[in-house]
Amino acid sequence: MTSKKTVERLSLYRRFLNNLDEDGVDSIYSHKLASMCSVTAAIVRRDLMSVGYYGNPKHGYQIKGLIKCIDKFFYTKTARKILLIGIGNLGRALLAYFSKGRSHLNITAAFDKDQTKTNRIICNTPAYHTSELEKVIKEKGLKTGIINVPDIEAQKVAEQLVENGITSILNFAPIRLKVPKNVFVENVDITMLLEKAVYFSKSNNKG
């Protein structure tokens, strides 16, 4: 019932709020948080309404309370444990990125069909051969997967993940996966994003 966009922004708010909290700030106005996140004050107020957090006109929103509220919103009974499949350049970069404990998110298992990349620890993450998918997903109770395999393999891999109980996928392969409609897919299509950026660049020099 909370919209996808609101969920995205709540994640963003929390990150900035955590930074502010670390800096000892204890309250913030909607317009200030909005500016940090490049959104409008009205959107911030509506989003916070939607998670049931209320501020006051005097000091705005209490940061610690708000963080706790957003944490609760994101809290899930399922472990936040994530798998990654496809240990290529981008896969490795993601493993490195998340192993740094940048967030409470954890990539718990990596997979690849190339034996030379598996049976080892990469950036604190154990790397398994794809044949162990079922076993490891069951054992660790994984629900979210990051797909990083080449486009020709992506659909097959997605099906394997879904068969084994994965219900949410972050897909970096440049295709659109066909999955049952109860499975969530978020595509990160870098070529498309870059093409868009080029399209919206302006050719005229300044001055």
Residues that bind DNA in the complex, under the rule CB under 7 A: 3-6, 29-31, 39-43, 45-46, 48-49, 53-58, 60-61
Query: Buried b vs exposed e over 92-120: b needs ≥16 C-beta within 10 Å?
Result: bebbeebeeeeeeeebbbbbbeeeebbee
Minimum CB separation of residue 143 from a second copy in Å reads: 4
Rule CB under 8 A: is residue 89 a binding residue for a second copy?
yes
Q: How far is the CB of 158 from DNA (least distance, A)?
A: 21
Based on its alpha-carbon atoms, the radius of gyration of the chain, rounded to whole angstroms, reads 20
Residue selected from 41, 43, 51, 90 as contacting a second copy according to rule CB under 8 A: 90
User: Which listed residue (108, 125, 130, 144) binds a second copy by CB under 8 A?
Assistant: 144
- What, of a second copy, DNA, none, does residue 6 touch, CB below 5 to 8 Å by kind? DNA
**Contact with a second copy (CB under 8 A): which of 25, 42, 49, 192?**
192
Instruction: Say whether residue 64 binds a second copy (CB under 8 A).
Output: no
- Contact positions with a second copy (CB under 8 A) in 13-42: 15, 36-38
